[in-house]
Amino acid sequence: MSAEANTPSRRPVRRNRVNWQDIALRAALPLLAVAIALAVGAILLLLLGANPISAYASMVTGVFGSLSGFTQSFVKATPLLLVGLGICIAFRASVINIGAEGQIILGAVMGTWFALVFRTWPGWLLLPSTLIIGFLAGAAWGFVPGVLKARLGVNEILSTVMMNVIALQLMNLLLRGPLMDPAGVTAGTFLAQSERLPEQVWLFRPEWLRQTQLHAGALIAILMAVVVYIFLWRTTIGYRIRAVGLNPDASRYAGIPVPFYQALSLTLAGGFAGLAGIVEVLGIHHRLLEGITSGYGFSGIVAALFGGLHPLGALPASWLFGSLLVGADKMQRAVQVPSALIDTLLGLVVLLVVGSQRWSKRWAEQRQIAAETARREAKAAAGGQEGQV
Amino acid sequence: MNEVGTVAIIVGILTSAVRLATPYLYAAIGEAFAQTSGVVNLGVDGIMLVGGFAAFLVALTTGSLWLAVLAAAFVGVLMGLLMSLISVTLKAEQGISGIGLYMFGLGLSSLLFKVLVGTVKTVPGFPTVKIPLLGDIPYLGPILFQHSVLVYGAFLLVPVAWWFLEKTTWGLKIRAVGQNPAAADSLGVDVNRTRYFSVCLGAALAGIAGASLSVALLNLFQENMTAGMGFIAVALVYFGGWRPLGILGGALLFSAVDAMQLWMQVLGVKIPSDVAVMLPYLLTIAALAFATNRTRQPAALNVPFERGSN
């Protein structure tokens, strides 16, 4: 956006041309951040008396060494991508949504509840409506801090953190009460999990992948990435959301109701996190259980930041972090290095990526200006020659 | 319930409230230093966890409690330096860098706990010190004057912080770089150095807040033991209008609600514990919505300083 604004040329910017050099440079910085984080992790492991080479090797073989490991990286990438798409929308509007954990929970809880109540419905009706309910429940959980920010100026970072804890307690309350599996009650196990959902609402998994956890949710997530891309870059509402994030004062001056779009972006972000929650339920567990979020609400932020807050950048980013999470699980089992190592490194990646953002933006602007100057000089030179002839 | 019982319960709740206010006070007053200088540090919870673990580990291995508190403050400063480097020197978005710092602290404290300690262990924490004479006052004595040193320290910190911010040159500089960094800069105040100092001082206090949990109140360490206390502490700074006295009021209100829900569970009041646990968080949202005095907010809060740009 800022680059476009800087262009003095009156010619319309050719926006369909892909600038590969720009993309490569943009991808290089985050990759460097991951490399640095892994190096810091290696030093940590050495200090703790573990062998970093065998730890990282177990991560790589854990992901690429087997079909189950490899497909698992896509299983983990699915919620990361869905959460990350919501984060893209919110962060693009300069709204920092830390509430994905709670929004995932609400999506999972309300979707599960809905599917259990209407369990007699046929699959073609029940599955889509359950997904929609999950989206709407997450959106409602994002709407609350969104409205509080828009109307009362409540800092959304703090309110979404609080909403996370409230959602967690709400789920615990329901899993120990009305949503608890009746089988667990009669058997006397009282496990904090819901009844198993009817099979017609499970997300599709082909026969030859029955040994894995891969499910059609991955396709939903990829489809959503395209949808969010079109929404943010090809619709008026998406344009306004980005405008609000880039320059709230100018947007206000242009007549865009800034608080409305901030609340809207937070609501949509909640919706995608809610969708991630219900997709986890319908794709993997087929029931609601404790720990459904697996920390995706936070790692999704990392994936989105890593993908440059671009829906299509979030695609490779979520796969990368999905693989890191799978690798961390395998590492924990193979060489007894706690997977908390990866949580630590994710935090470092966030710090490094935001720390470098300002500089990468500045470099991008400088390149843009240099290219523009070169183009104009070339044009002037060409014009001069024409004049001579 | 008879009258003696009721009085005993009220005294019990208030005593717990004073104890539980301790970590909030250290963390929120620390955060007030950072925010007064213009930096929102959202990594407080992560710093508390790392500080709490450091204190626990030192207490476990050396048995020295003061060394434990010192260690907590020290790792707090290290975390503060990291936060300052990212948000002051590299001028990153403060909200996101704070969340990164939180994730880093949460992960690091869990990792180190699992590798170095493994199972839940307890340490002998700071003993209760009964203040002579004052501690013998009926009702008031047990509520206010029968606590550990770190609890007294937290309450002493309130006037000290007020004096430091309002009456010293350092405090004036901190307030100046938070209100108008360009003006402060033109008068020769090193804006970035002042912010580094404030963030690190605040982070040291956040570390001590963690230590107050692990070696004075609970005497153990668990993964994610703060459960979002650091975020409530940040909210308390808004609630308290960036003034130590306001923060004290907020911290006491929150710890009283916390103490009440704990006591309700102990007494078997018919309310699901999940609902009771939600209360302080619901209260935080309500407080942020209806009780934040924005007129006192430092004008340059959340804005990185760059010469010539403002």
| Spatial contact of A338 and B111, defined as CB atoms under 8 Å apart | yes
The tokens of B2 are what? 């008879």
Cross-chain CB nearest to B107 (options A347, A355, A357): A347
Residue type, A208: W
Give percent of chain A with pLDDT exceeding 90.
Answer: 52
State residue B3's pLDDT score.
66
Q: How confident is the model at residue A8 (pLDDT cuts 50, 70, 90)?
A: very low
Q: List the single range of A81-90, A212-221, B208-217 with lowest mean pLDDT.
A: A212-221
**Measured distance CA(A319)–CA(A303) in Å, rounded:** 9
Q: Is residue B215's pLDDT more than 60?
A: yes
Helices A67-92 and A52-64, axial angle in degrees (round to 10): 100
How many inter-chain contacts (A to B, CB under 8 Å) are there? 146
**Measured distance CA(A233)–CA(A239) in Å, rounded:** 6
| Spatial contact of A306 and A321, defined as CB atoms under 8 Å apart | yes
State residue A144's pLDDT score.
96
**Measured distance CA(A107)–CA(A142) in Å, rounded:** 11
Q: Is residue A101's pLDDT more than 60?
A: yes
Quote the pTM value. 0.89
List beta partners, residue B220.
B122
| Spatial contact of B94 and B34, defined as CB atoms under 8 Å apart | no
State residue B2's pLDDT score.
62
Is B285 in CB contact (< 8 Å) with chain A? yes
Q: Is residue A3's pLDDT more than 60?
A: no
Task: Count structural domains, chain A.
Answer: 1
Nearest to B214 by CA among B97, B46, B52: B52
Mean pLDDT of chain A: 87
Cross-chain CB nearest to A169 (options B42, B108, B277): B277
Q: List the single range of A258-272, B28-42, B45-59, B137-151 with lowest mean pLDDT.
A: B137-151
The tokens of A355 are what? 């720390």
Nearest to B108 by CA among A33, A356, A100, A351: A351
Q: What is the dihedral of CA B98, B100, B102, B103, to 10 degrees?
A: 170
Other beta carbons less than 10 A from residue A374's beta carbon? 10
**Measured distance CA(B298)–CA(B177) in Å, rounded:** 9
Task: Find chain A residues with C-beta within 8 A of B99's C-beta.
Answer: 96, 98, 157, 298, 301, 350
Cross-chain CB nearest to A346 (options B91, B107, B238): B107
Helix (H, G, I), strand (E, B) or coil at B74: helix
Helix (H, G, I), strand (E, B) or coil at B191: helix
**Measured distance CA(B15)–CA(B180) in Å, rounded:** 42
Average pLDDT over residues B37-60: 96
Residue contact B228–A154, C-beta within 8 A: no
Nearest to A145 by CA among A155, A135, A137: A155
Residue contact B101–A351, C-beta within 8 A: yes
State residue A6's pLDDT score.
46
Q: How confident is the model at residue B4 (pLDDT cuts 50, 70, 90)?
A: low
Is B305 in CB contact (< 8 Å) with chain A? no
Asked if the structure places residue A67 within a domain, the reply is no
Helices A258-280 and A236-246, axial angle in degrees (round to 10): 110
Residue contact A158–B275, C-beta within 8 A: no
Cross-chain CB nearest to A158 (options B102, B104, B235): B235
Nearest to B299 by CA among B90, B36, B94: B36
Average pLDDT over residues B30-54: 96
Is B289 in CB contact (< 8 Å) with chain A? yes
Helix (H, G, I), strand (E, B) or coil at B93: coil
Cross-chain CB nearest to A338 (options B92, B93, B111): B111
User: Nearest 5°: CA angle at A311, between A306 and A314?
Assistant: 35
**Per mean pLDDT, which of A128-132, A253-257, B9-13 is the most reliable?**
A128-132
Residue contact B290–A152, C-beta within 8 A: yes
Is A303 in CB contact (< 8 Å) with chain B? no
Residue contact A350–B42, C-beta within 8 A: no
Q: Is residue A354's pLDDT more than 50?
A: yes
Q: For the domain that residue A117 is a member of, what is the CATH number?
A: 1.10.3470
**DSSP string for B267-294:** TT-SS-HHHHHHHHHHHHHHHHHHS--G
The tokens of B216 are what? 């004075």
Asked if the structure places residue A311 within a domain, the reply is yes
Is A170 in CB contact (< 8 Å) with chain B? yes
Residue contact A342–B231, C-beta within 8 A: no
Asked if the structure places residue A113 within a domain, the reply is yes
| Spatial contact of A326 and A320, defined as CB atoms under 8 Å apart | no
| Spatial contact of A375 and A64, defined as CB atoms under 8 Å apart | no
Domain boundaries, given as residue ranges, for chain B: 21-226
| Spatial contact of A317 and A27, defined as CB atoms under 8 Å apart | no
Task: Find chain A residues with C-beta within 8 A of B108's C-beta.
Answer: 340, 344, 347
**Measured distance CA(A40)–CA(A33) in Å, rounded:** 11
Provide the domain limits for residue A259.
79-364
Task: Find chain A residues with C-beta within 8 A of B281's C-beta.
Answer: 162, 165-166
The DSSP letter of residue B298 is -
Q: List the single range of A141-150, A268-277, A354-363 with lowest mean pLDDT.
A: A354-363
Identify from B75, B103, B293 which residue to disrupt to test chain A contact, counting A C-beta atoms within 10 A and taking the largest count: B103
* pLDDT per residue as tens digits for the range B65-101: 999 999 999 999 999 999 999 999 998 888 889 999 9
Which contacts qualify for A247-252: CB closer than 8 Å, 24 or more apart? A248/A94
Is B90 in CB contact (< 8 Å) with chain A? yes
Asked if the structure places residue A384 within a domain, the reply is no
Is B108 in CB contact (< 8 Å) with chain A? yes
Q: Which residue of A has its CA nearest to B302?
A: A155
Residue contact A162–B285, C-beta within 8 A: yes
Asked if the structure places residue A354 within a domain, the reply is yes
State residue B181's pLDDT score.
92
Cα of A347 to nearest chain B Cα, Å:
4
**Measured distance CA(B160)–CA(B26) in Å, rounded:** 12
What would the 3-class secondary structure string for chain A be?
CHHHHHCCCCCCCCCCCCCHHHHHHHHHHHHHHHHHHHHHHHHHHHHCCCCHHHHHHHHHHHHHCCHHHHHHHHHHHHHHHHHHHHHHHHHHCCCCCCCHHHHHHHHHHHHHHHHHHCCCCCHHHHHHHHHHHHHHHHHHHHHHHHHHHHHHCCCHHHHHHHHHHHHHHHHHHHHCCCCECHHHHHHCCCCCEECCCCHHHCCCCCHHHCCCCCCCHHHHHHHHHHHHHHHHHHCHHHHHHHHHHHCHHHHHHCCCCHHHHHHHHHHHHHHHHHHHHHHHHHHHHCCCECCCCCCHHHHHHHHHHHCCCCHHHHHHHHHHHHHHHHHHHHHHHHHCCCCHHHHHHHHHHHHHHHHHHHHHHHHHHHHHHHHHHHHHHHHHHHHHHHHHC
Residue contact B90–A347, C-beta within 8 A: no
**Measured distance CA(B72)–CA(B109) in Å, rounded:** 12
Task: Find chain A residues with C-beta within 8 A of B288's C-beta.
Answer: 148, 154-155, 158-159
**Measured distance CA(B10)–CA(B4) in Å, rounded:** 10
Cα of B296 to nearest chain A Cα, Å:
14
Identify from A45, A95, A296, A351 which residue to disrupt to test chain B contact, counting B C-beta atoms within 10 A and taking the largest count: A351
Parallel/antiparallel/unpaired status of strands B128-130 and B146-148: antiparallel
State residue B293's pLDDT score.
64
State residue A145's pLDDT score.
96
The DSSP letter of residue B122 is B
Q: Which residue of A has its CA nearest to B283?
A: A162
* pLDDT per residue as tens digits for the range B103-135: 999 999 999 999 899 888 888 888 888 888 888
* pLDDT per residue as tens digits for the range A295-350: 899 999 999 988 889 999 999 999 999 999 999 888 888 888 888 888 899 999 88
Residue type, A83: V
State residue A7's pLDDT score.
45
Give A 172-231 residues with CB within 8 A of chain B: 172-173, 176-177
User: Nearest 5°: CA angle at A39, between A358 and B119?
Assistant: 110
* pLDDT per residue as tens digits for the range A163-202: 999 999 999 999 988 888 888 888 878 888 898 999 888 8
